[in-house]
Amino acid sequence: MPIDIPSDCYALIPCAGVGSRAGVDGPKQYHPVAGRAVVAHTLAALGQVTRLRAMLVVLSADDTQFESAVPGFDAAWVARAGGSTRARTVLAGLHELRRRGACEHDWVLVHDAARCLIRPEWVDRLIDACSGDPVGGLLALPVADTLKQSHEGRVGSTVDRTGKWAAQTPQMFRLGLLDAALAAAGAAVTDESSAIEALGHAPRLVRGDFCNFKLTWPEDFALAQRLLHRSDV
């Protein structure tokens, strides 16, 4: 794919999970944090990225909460096409983007609804780093802690952390390549980069931020609340 073709950037937000690890009532993306639903914070931040042509939110077919959680969001950019895994939701979202006019060479920035502390400047950093790249890339952070492999509740071994990064989102790839990669990878891959890697490509690692964590566990909501109430973090 020539890299000098003018391309639009789209955001695709998988928002069809159930939040089984979060310990809150209902899907975690609708849990209130600092005055509004998790996904409302996510979309408000992404909405400030001027280089995004549009944001497509992918919900589960039986979602009843999005409209009240994010009042005023353009219904034309909501797709009730979520799948049983994140990968399936994203793959369905790519087809929905095509139906709305996106082209094979356009960039798609996939961002978890549950990463509600994303900031526009981090997304801009990713776009700056990847828009001239032949593959694309992702926000990620070098692992700072010593890594342990568990075995029956005890330490089985210590894993060499040299060169290891923790993947975040957004993850930015061209629509055509990402579609082919996810279709080939199947439902089990946990991020877009894994699917692209499986095709033999090496996505670019772009430094993310510690605060761009994914709300996953019960205690994450209180931390997000504190951070969202502060403007200087």
Ligand X SMILES: C[C@](O)(CO)[C@H](O)COP(=O)(O)O
Ligand Y SMILES: Nc1ccn([C@@H]2O[C@H](COP(=O)(O)OP(=O)(O)OP(=O)(O)O)[C@@H](O)[C@H]2O)c(=O)n1
- Rule CB under 6 A: say whether 170 interacts with ligand Y: no
Q: Which amino acid is at 149?
A: Q
Residues 70-89 as x/- pattern, contact with ligand X by CB under 6 A: ----------------x---
- Rule CB under 6 A: say whether 112 interacts with ligand X: yes
- Rule CB under 6 A: say whether 63 interacts with ligand X: no
CA distance 24 to 19: 8
Stretch that binds ligand Y, among 3-11, 13-21, 133-141, 192-200 (CB under 6 A): 13-21
CB of 3 to ligand Y, least distance (A): 29
Backbone phi, psi, residue 211, to 5°: -75, -10
Nearest to 56 by CA among 109, 17, 12, 120: 12
Q: How many residues bind ligand X (CB under 6 A)?
A: 8
Which listed residue (2, 20, 144, 152) binds ligand Y by CB under 6 A? 20
CA-angle at 195, arms to 190 and 198, nearest 5°: 125
Work out the burial of residue 209: count CB atoms within 10 Å of its CB; fewer than 13 is exposed, 13-18 middle, 19 or more buried.
Answer: middle
135 alpha carbon, distance to own chain's centre: 17
- Rule CB under 6 A: say whether 162 interacts with ligand Y: no
Place of tokens 């991020």: 191
- Rule CB under 6 A: say whether 220 interacts with ligand X: no
Which listed residue (1, 3, 5, 18) binds ligand Y by CB under 6 A? 18
1 vs 188, beta carbon nearer ligand X: 188
Strand, coil or helix: 89: helix
Residue 226 partner contact from ligand X, ligand Y, none using kind-dependent CB cut-offs of 5 to 8 Å: none
Q: Helices 86-99 and 175-185, interaxial angle, to 10°?
A: 140
Residues within window 159-188 making contact with ligand X, judged by CB under 6 A = 167-169
Sort strands 52-59 and 154-159 into parallel, antiparallel or unpaired: unpaired
**Sign of the Cα pseudo-torsion (63, 96, 140, 154, in order):** positive
65 vs 216, beta carbon nearer ligand Y: 216
Residue 82 partner contact from ligand X, ligand Y, none using kind-dependent CB cut-offs of 5 to 8 Å: ligand Y
* Interaction site with ligand Y (CB under 6 A): 14-22, 28-29, 58, 82-86, 89, 112-114, 214, 216
